[in-house]
Amino acid sequence: MTLAGVVRVKNSKSVMEKTRVIKKKIWPEYFEAIVSGKKKFELRLADFTVNEGDTLVLEEWDPKTKKYTGRKIEKRVSYVLKFKTDELFWSKEEIEKHGLQIISLE
């Protein structure tokens, strides 16, 4: 969900660049991992537009109570990789057998 009407404009020397503030729910265990600095990536369904430089506001959502906890964290998007399963290096059979893993690098 993009915040309606919120667009940030960055003024660089030669390029005017629009960035967005995007709000998303996140479950408590993943929220904690981001807050602690352990988790430095976010895997999401590509059903919204996000670009490098945008701000992702992650709002902690408790799936048991189906309510927001009130905690949130803002993170700047530094890299976006979008793909469809038929565009990957592996066959659908290999993916179904083994799954995929996202590896965070430091």
Domains of the chain: 2-98 (2.30.130.30)
Q: What is the mean pLDDT of the chain?
A: 85
Token reading at 28: 């408590």
- Burial 57-96, CB ≥16 within 10 A → b, else e: ebebbeeeeeeeeeeeeeeebeeeeeeeeeeeeeeeeeee
pLDDT tens-digit readout, 38-77 = 999 999 999 999 999 999 999 999 999 999 999 999 999 9
